[in-house]
Structure 1
Amino acid sequence: MFSFDLNSINSALADSGRPISGVDFSGKSLKLDSAQDAQPIVDAINACPDLQYLTLTGNTLGVSAAQAIAKALEHHPELKIARFSDMFTGRMKTEIPPALAALGDGMITAGARLSVLDLSDNAFGPIGVEGLAKLLQSDVCSELEELRLNNNGLGITGGRLLANALAARPRKLKIFIAGRNRLENDGAKALANVFQNMDTLEEVAMPQNGIYHVGVTALSRAFSHNSRLAALNLNDNTVGAKGAEAIAAALVNLKNLKSINFGDCLLKSKGAKALAKAFKDNSLLLESLDLSHNEIGREACMDVVDAITALPDSADRLSRVVLAGNSLGGASNKKIMRDKLGASAELSDGEGSEDEYVTDSESEHSGSEGEGEEGEGSQNSEDSATEDAQHLDDSHSNITLDTSGVEEVETDVGRFLQQPSLDNLMKLGANATDVIDAHLQSIKDPSDSIRAYVEATLCVSGLSDQSAKAMDLSQQMYQLLIKRAGETHAASWLLANTVLTHLKLIKSEDKSPTIRWSLPPCYVSLARCIGAPYFPAALRDTLLFFAAAKKTTMPCVEVLFR
């Protein structure tokens, strides 16, 4: 849930010496589809002579509404803070990039210089970063200090795209937030390469990203170049002992670190001991530490407590120390810890509870750690493979049609879908569209059905340059596709995503489609129907947005803009 952060705004605008002013439409749950829907926001922007911040959190913007707001932003070079979190609820994922691109273009035209950009809780995935890249690479973000991309579903590919966009120019980021994004090791390593060339980071939060010790090690090396780092949150990643050792090595250069959250990171005793030693050796002035639920044994827990309370001011300095969910030993051990930690101690999950998590073995020997590290290593060998495989070069010449979900029998339709030649299409007769429709109607799963209709449509469209009849049938197939997709619950996103991947305008996030249709005639056929009344406006705008980005690499898309 969004909370209006006045302190952040004050900080971002502190150097201006101006009274804070801006437009805030947060939490109004407005559904803004058209330019007319967005008019109240446009009017508010136009009426604000010194628009230092714009907050649109908690509303939902379509492409046309975003374009209208962007037009108003063109007159406000003074804009410093853009809070656009939770702004696309209920939208097709493919609607978001053009909407983001429009808002970015408005700020670019204005010549704005943002210090804060918040796009959290917008599930736009990797393709959303494509709509954001131009903005991040522009002068608008040349002075960006705070970037929040929490819960955006970036994945490995999105992490790499984000890193590429950030690496386009020197950065002065102070705050980087990117939790719950499935970045995994490769995404983390890509971002680490960016962080390594900065020395300004003060807060980094990357919880719940499926990062293992390989990615954590890369991040640790990058953090060592950012001596101002004061807060680090890697909660719910598998840091493990190896990752903890890498972080411990970096702490030599992180004397300003005040807050660490490594809860649910499978540190175990070996990792906790490595951190404890580094805390003590470097006289780290921690104020908050979360090592909860890490399968740490009682001796290692005591080492941590001893390390962070070694300096005489610890009682006044420590505000929160969380060790709940580890093996803390008996009541006497806990009393010692509480006496040392004072009011900062959080040793139990439940209020007043004295029961703590106990590992299978209380042994502090390396053997108890080896099992965890082995599991970590085996996972590490696979954690990036699946998504990486999805993004291999898909420019294949001899590949077969993916007809998953279609029961292929030895029929004329089955042969055509397997071998989409003009002869096989003509064998379906004058009512080929009806014959294909009857063949595909048996598919019940919505995603399988939409994929099958898209593939059948493109099989026909790919032949549209070979005869007038094929062109006519391809136009009929597009109408049929739109009709059948409209009968499927929540089909808008499925349809757009499937058409985009099968026309090679974006890469698939799941299983890459295999194609045997010729793309140039497919685009010619699409150009003939994309402006038809039955063709959904949102789908049309999305296709044109992604096609525009491919003009230089796919000349065949030009026909859509004639």
Structure 2
Amino acid sequence: MSIDLNSLSTALNEPNRTASGVDFSGRSLKLDTEKDAQPIIDAINACPDLQYLTLTGNTLGVEAAQAISKALTRHPELKTASFSDMFTGRMKTEIPPALSALGDGMIEAGARLKVLDLSDNAFGPIGVEGLAKLLQSDVCSQLQELHLNNNGLGITGGRLLARALSASPRHLRVFVAGRNRLENEGAKALANVFQSMGSLEEVSMPQNGIYHSGITALSEAFKENPGLSCLNLNDNTMGPTGAAAIATALPRLKKLKSINFGDCLLKSAGAKALAKSLKDSVLLESLDLSHNEIGREACMEVVDALTSLPDSSDRLTRVVLAGNSLGGADNKSTMKKKLGASAELSDGEGSEDEYVTGSDSDEMEEEQGQSDEDSAPEDSQNHITRDPGEEISLDRSGIEEVHTDVGKFLNNPIVENLINLGSNPADVIDAHLQSIRDQESLTLAYVEALCCVSGLSAESVTAAETARLLYHTLVQRARQQWLLANTLLRALKLIKSENKDYKIRWRIPACYSALAAEIDASYFPAALRDTLKFFVASKMASLPAEVRAVIEKHPNLFT
């Protein structure tokens, strides 16, 4: 995580003070003992004004956390704690005491945090238990930003978090908790807390399996937060009913500038409800309603609502309607003319046919098929060793492609389809695949997407850069290293797949070039690197000539 010093100073409410602190982000350090943590401890002790501490991208054990905690007891001035991606490979039972130790150090120091970031730590509900004391303490009494993205909280974790935050008055400005499977009950628990805050300016809760009843509860809470300027509920099943509930909150949110309701199954009815409310009350700058099964008439109503005032061309920065039924060329031309440079309509997705919109009964009632089981990812807690050549049969039912730009690219990986994903294809692909909950299917989908992109890297700069970003994302998402190794080996045809349905859709020689560019990067797991190099070296003689030619140009693939 990079630190923007100007933003940090603003967050500290001391514009004339130069931010200083300790940043060990991205070092991939394995910190088990006090000795391992000594470089960090020395840096903390040497910093007279520790306003921020960043440990992102390292892995922290209990003893190391306790040692760092002792150093923190002497720094009451600490304002920003960036502890994201900090427990990769740790046992589930290690995380709560490590979190608790770090919290104890800040509590003893009498610190008053403004920013706490614990994203990308798969600690689940049990991790919230380790955080509860800190969240309830005076250390968080002035907390303005809480980032808990991708923590596997589940319903139970959401409830525990809400309980901790409601112990005493909180005045958060920013709340981020995407990819946590909070579902309706977790969302409702947090909505109760939000309602009493009244201070929220940014809420980001994408990909949480929240249905319309949870959305309705959140909508009521948003009404009590009139300063809300940024709202992201992407990839929750909002439906027309949830959209109607949100629409009732919009007239109170006069400062709202950005909305992201992409992939929320709004359908035409939901889009029309939002359009009516937007036209009457909100001066948006950015709106994402992509992939919502919205018909062309409703799309046009949204466009008309956004552009009803004469300042719209100067105000609007981004309007995304891709993946809906935009109508024919005349409709798209009219929309583009009205929206100007802000339009993201994706000609390849639009259809002249309306989506068939069903009744509210088609929204999939949230009570059906949902479970109160904790949803914390536990793959990182299980140290499983398997032979890399051992064949596994993966369930592909969770990764069947739908008719989206990403699905189109994965089924036909050509440069044109990759370009159609926009300026940040890696983020678009990542967001598309995050709906897959089964870890094996998720890993398979990421590897296949990576290979589809990597196969184009020799002919496209965009593909090469996207492959680089996806490698980093893949390593973060895949919690079982044996599974990742096995899947990559098959994708590169270094081991044989027994699955008759397994299809190679990518250009393998270019995949090796993309791998060579990343295999020695600091984030790349050493065990995975060694496994891949071993198989490349041992299988090279039997590989096709065009693949061998590429590998020979990159000795780091086998030495």
- Quickly name the TM-score band, shorter chain normalised: 0.5 to 0.7
The aligned counterpart of 2:75 is 76
Aligned-pair distance for 1:159?
0.1
- 2 CA distance for matches of 1:213 and 1:490? 37
- Per the normalisation by structure 2, the TM-score is 0.66
Secondary structure at 1:257's aligned position in 2? coil
Q: Verify: 1:369 aligned to 2:386, yes or no.
A: no
Secondary structure at 1:265's aligned position in 2? coil
Aligned Cα RMSD in Å?
1.9
Match of 1:340 among 329, 338, 342: 338
CA separation of 1:38 and 1:274: change in aligned 2, threshold 3 A? same
Aligned-pair distance for 1:8?
3.5
The aligned counterpart of 1:35 is 34
Aligned-pair distance for 1:3?
3.9
The aligned counterpart of 1:142 is 141
Q: Is the 8 A contact 1:185 1:384 kept in 2?
A: no
CA separation of 1:389 and 1:204: change in aligned 2, threshold 3 A? closer
- Per the normalisation by structure 1, the TM-score is 0.65
The aligned counterpart of 1:53 is 52
The aligned counterpart of 2:308 is 310
Q: Which amino acid aligns with 1:325?
A: G
Q: Which amino acid aligns with 2:145?
A: E
Q: Is the 8 A contact 2:313 2:340 kept in 1?
A: yes
The aligned counterpart of 2:287 is 289
- 1 CA distance for matches of 2:248 and 2:358? 19
The aligned counterpart of 1:122 is 121
Aligned-pair distance for 1:15?
2.2
The aligned counterpart of 2:239 is 240
The aligned counterpart of 2:350 is 356
Q: Which amino acid aligns with 2:325?
A: S
Q: Which amino acid aligns with 1:326?
A: N
Q: Is the 8 A contact 2:153 2:375 kept in 1?
A: no
Secondary structure at 1:123's aligned position in 2? coil
Aligned-pair distance for 1:18?
2.0
Q: Which amino acid aligns with 2:102?
A: L
Aligned-pair distance for 1:82?
0.3
Unmatched 5+ stretches in structure 2: 377-479, 483-559
Unmatched 5+ stretches in structure 1: 391-488, 492-562
Q: Which amino acid aligns with 1:127?
A: I
Q: Which amino acid aligns with 1:230?
A: S
Counterparts of 1:12-411 in structure 2, within 5 Å, are: 12-15=11-14, 17-282=16-281, 284-348=282-346, 353-356=347-350, 361-362=354-355, 368-370=357-359, 373-378=360-365, 380-387=366-373
Q: Which amino acid aligns with 1:381?
A: E
Secondary structure at 2:263's aligned position in 1? coil
Q: Which amino acid aligns with 1:356?
A: G
- 1 CA distance for matches of 2:300 and 2:293? 14
- 2 CA distance for matches of 1:325 and 1:310? 23
- 2 CA distance for matches of 1:137 and 1:354? 50
Q: Which amino acid aligns with 1:167?
A: S
Aligned-pair distance for 1:6?
3.5
Aligned-pair distance for 1:357?
5.2
Aligned-pair distance for 1:340?
0.3
Counterparts of 1:483-522 in structure 2, within 5 Å, are: none
Q: Is the 8 A contact 2:153 2:374 kept in 1?
A: no
Q: Which amino acid aligns with 2:247?
A: A
Secondary structure at 2:146's aligned position in 1? strand
Counterparts of 1:413-562 in structure 2, within 5 Å, are: none
Q: Is the 8 A contact 2:328 2:351 kept in 1?
A: no
Aligned-pair distance for 1:389?
13
- 1 CA distance for matches of 2:237 and 2:371? 17
If you compute each CA radius of gyration, which structure gives the higher value, 1 or 2?
Answer: 1
Aligned-pair distance for 1:354?
4.0
Secondary structure at 1:94's aligned position in 2? coil
CA separation of 1:167 and 1:94: change in aligned 2, threshold 3 A? same
Q: Which amino acid aligns with 2:322?
A: A
Aligned-pair distance for 1:14?
3.4
Secondary structure at 1:17's aligned position in 2? coil
Secondary structure at 2:319's aligned position in 1? strand
Q: Which amino acid aligns with 2:111?
A: A
- 2 CA distance for matches of 1:389 and 1:236? 17
Aligned-pair distance for 1:358?
6.6
Secondary structure at 2:197's aligned position in 1? coil
- 2 CA distance for matches of 1:134 and 1:333? 56
CA separation of 1:358 and 1:186: change in aligned 2, threshold 3 A? farther
Q: Is the 8 A contact 2:324 2:349 kept in 1?
A: no
Aligned-pair distance for 1:199?
1.1
Q: Which amino acid aligns with 2:17?
A: R
Q: Is the 8 A contact 2:100 2:134 kept in 1?
A: yes
Q: Is the 8 A contact 1:186 1:384 kept in 2?
A: no
- 2 CA distance for matches of 1:336 and 1:300? 14
Secondary structure at 2:22's aligned position in 1? strand
Q: Which amino acid aligns with 2:19?
A: I
Deviations, residues 325-348 of structure 1 (Å, cap 9, x unaligned): 000000000000000000000000
Q: Is the 8 A contact 2:181 2:375 kept in 1?
A: no
Deviations, residues 218-239 of structure 1 (Å, cap 9, x unaligned): 0000000000000000000001
